[in-house]
Structure 1
Amino acid sequence: MIVWKRHGLVFGAGTLCILVNNGGVSPLWITGLVLLAVGGAMRWSLARRQRPRGGHAPVALNMPVEGRWIAYNGPATKVPSHNTHSHAQTYAIDLIHVPAAGPQAPPFTRVWPFGRRPDRYPTFGQPVLAPANGVVVATAGQMRDHLSRMSLPAHAFLYLEGFVRGLGWPCHLWGNYVLLDLGDGVVAGFAHLRRGSVRVAPGDRVTRGQQLAECGNSGNSSEPHLHFQLMDGPDPVTARGIPFGWSYRDDFGAERSGVPQDTTAFTSHNTSLF
């Protein structure tokens, strides 16, 4: 497993062999192709190994945010929600803050501007809360908050950027993050956090509702948002995803439980209905 986790290095070495080769079909070129094939196979097999075993009941939690939000790439619409089991993202969800009144996020553009500063988005700086009592097992907090990728050329760049980031360590994909052990083999992951906002350290015990950090735009992120997921271990490269649910109110005031459908606007209601 330790070797398989290094698939990015194998793939990168293969790419480098092909790029520096200037002799046509040469031993270096063939070596590069072999390394690309081996690295790709390692990544595929690792992601396949992360398929959930099934049968795990959704874990009832408080929402990790407060206020009005919209769900994207969530498990209520499709599983795996992020189109892959890799990095334990089977049941992950992305949350974007959409206040009922006040400034809204800039619109998606065709060409220009290529990207915007993250502080132009209402999600940026929103508090990220512990959805249950737990112990912090890992954090990262010094990756920069980059410009948004909310234009056609920037979106194309995002896909290439995401592929490259996926070959590295979890912090390259997740940006700044917090991993919180909730007990009973369940670990919560919070990703794309704001640089310098992480308020906890490994070993800290936190209580439900305690602020952990702020939403940011670090890592593989198109715009400021919170990526949230549960998994059965502290290593997202080898863990499997776990389903979850929370209580919330829709825009008509109805109380619901579970996970909102994609593009659904809802408000946190942190009293469990399970």
Structure 2
Amino acid sequence: MSVRKGAMILYRCCWLAFVALVVVSVLADPLVPYGVTFVPAALAVVIGLLVGRRSRAERGKARPAVEIGPPVTGRWVALSSPADKVPSHGTHGYGQTYAIDIVAEPEEGGRPGFRWLWPLARPNRDFPAFGAPVVAVADATVVHASDGQRDHLSRTSGPALAYLMLAEASVRDMAGARAIVGNHVVLDLGDGTYAAYAHVRRGSLQVKAGDTVRAGQQLAQCGNSGNSTEPHVHFQLMDHPDLDVARGIPFTWRGIGVPAHGEAFTAADAPGHG
């Protein structure tokens, strides 16, 4: 086990211990001194700062962008793109430095927008991305494939988004990478480069660990599992198959580049995979 992996496990254990102590202090206040409750939380913060500092030092020499095919076909719109800022999702954790989110929008305005109050949540079938094919960006070997987690309702209203950011995301972070990315696929592209697809639809996998795939081959379907506001594809390249220790690698999609936030693009089928 690497030092970073061990640190991440200890980090989560500290936060879980903090939550447990808070619950115990509420239910049995005399048994837990008030100050003790915050010891594991303080330790978690220190570990997080140390891991972050080490990660910044390791990222001193950025790798060049890897050219690959797009992970979808059809018309999509980019969100949270590394073309606008790095890290694109506000964190280097889980190898997300150069990650991108994309949503299907077959025609402009063809997907439900954000609403401040109502409806609180929408079913996944309202979003054109739900069930869309997710394809291999290159010839590769499947390292990991899982699709057992449920696809939850959207978080595209003010109250639902607040719930996601203030409560749900924190709980998922304590539970680890699997709870954040939801159902996911990791491919080994060779040369120390791995591709990760997050928020895959439950029960949609067409591959398993150990399979070899060709560029453009369908892997699964887009879903809404894990830490997700709506059905979308979260895609990233990284230098390790374990999300806890992976560092992000920049990418560029062949014939498309790296679309900026709000930019629409159309990806064609790969040859032989119509």
Q: State the TM-score, normalizing by the size of structure 2.
A: 0.90
Gap change, CA 1:208 and 1:77, over 3 Å in 2? same
* Contact 1:59–1:245 under 8 Å retained in 2: yes
SS at the partner of 1:17?
helix
- Give the Cα–Cα distance (whole angstroms) in 1 for the partners of residues 258 and 231 of structure 2: 20
2:216 alignment counterpart = 209
Structure 2 residue 30 is the aligned partner of structure 1 residue 29: no
SS at the partner of 2:40?
helix
Residues 197-228 of structure 1, C-alpha deviations (whole Å, 9 max, x = no match): 01111111111111000000000000000000
Structure 2 residue 245 is the aligned partner of structure 1 residue 242: no
Q: CA deviation at 1:169?
A: 2.3
* Contact 2:138–2:215 under 8 Å retained in 1: yes
* Contact 1:125–1:214 under 8 Å retained in 2: yes
RMSD: 1.9
What stretches of structure 1 of length at least 5 have no aligned partner? 249-256
Pairing partner for 1:173 from 172, 175, 180: 180
Residues 41-62 of structure 1, C-alpha deviations (whole Å, 9 max, x = no match): 2233334434433331100000
Q: Point out the more displaced range, 19-28 or 84-93.
A: 19-28
- Give the Cα–Cα distance (whole angstroms) in 2 for the partners of residues 127 and 45 of structure 1: 39
Amino acid at match of 2:7: W
* Contact 1:177–1:193 under 8 Å retained in 2: yes
Gap change, CA 1:207 and 1:238, over 3 Å in 2? same
2:238 alignment counterpart = 231
- Give the Cα–Cα distance (whole angstroms) in 1 for the partners of residues 136 and 101 of structure 2: 16
* Contact 1:50–1:88 under 8 Å retained in 2: no
SS at the partner of 2:87?
coil
Pairing partner for 1:49 from 54, 70, 75: 54
What stretches of structure 2 of length at least 5 have no aligned partner? none
- Give the Cα–Cα distance (whole angstroms) in 1 for the partners of residues 53 and 245 of structure 2: 10
- Give the Cα–Cα distance (whole angstroms) in 2 for the partners of residues 214 and 207 of structure 1: 17
Deviating beyond 3 angstroms after TM superposition, the runs of 4 or more aligned structure 1 residues are: 22-28, 47-51
- Give the Cα–Cα distance (whole angstroms) in 2 for the partners of residues 3 and 143 of structure 1: 25
Q: CA deviation at 1:69?
A: 0.6
- Give the Cα–Cα distance (whole angstroms) in 1 for the partners of residues 41 and 53 of structure 2: 18
* Contact 2:103–2:232 under 8 Å retained in 1: yes
1:265 alignment counterpart = 264
Gap change, CA 1:48 and 1:25, over 3 Å in 2? farther
Pairing partner for 1:4 from 3, 7, 13: 7
SS at the partner of 2:175?
coil
2:164 alignment counterpart = 158
- Give the Cα–Cα distance (whole angstroms) in 1 for the partners of residues 185 and 52 of structure 2: 22
- Give the Cα–Cα distance (whole angstroms) in 1 for the partners of residues 199 and 170 of structure 2: 16
* Contact 2:24–2:32 under 8 Å retained in 1: no
- Give the Cα–Cα distance (whole angstroms) in 2 for the partners of residues 50 and 143 of structure 1: 30
Amino acid at match of 1:262: H
- Give the Cα–Cα distance (whole angstroms) in 2 for the partners of residues 213 and 50 of structure 1: 32
Amino acid at match of 1:107: G
- Give the Cα–Cα distance (whole angstroms) in 1 for the partners of residues 160 and 225 of structure 2: 15
SS at the partner of 1:32?
helix
Q: CA deviation at 1:147?
A: 0.2
SS at the partner of 1:122?
coil
* Contact 2:21–2:32 under 8 Å retained in 1: no
2:17 alignment counterpart = 13
- Give the Cα–Cα distance (whole angstroms) in 1 for the partners of residues 186 and 53 of structure 2: 23
Amino acid at match of 2:39: V
Gap change, CA 1:83 and 1:37, over 3 Å in 2? same
Q: CA deviation at 1:164?
A: 1.5
Identical residues among aligned pairs (%): 44
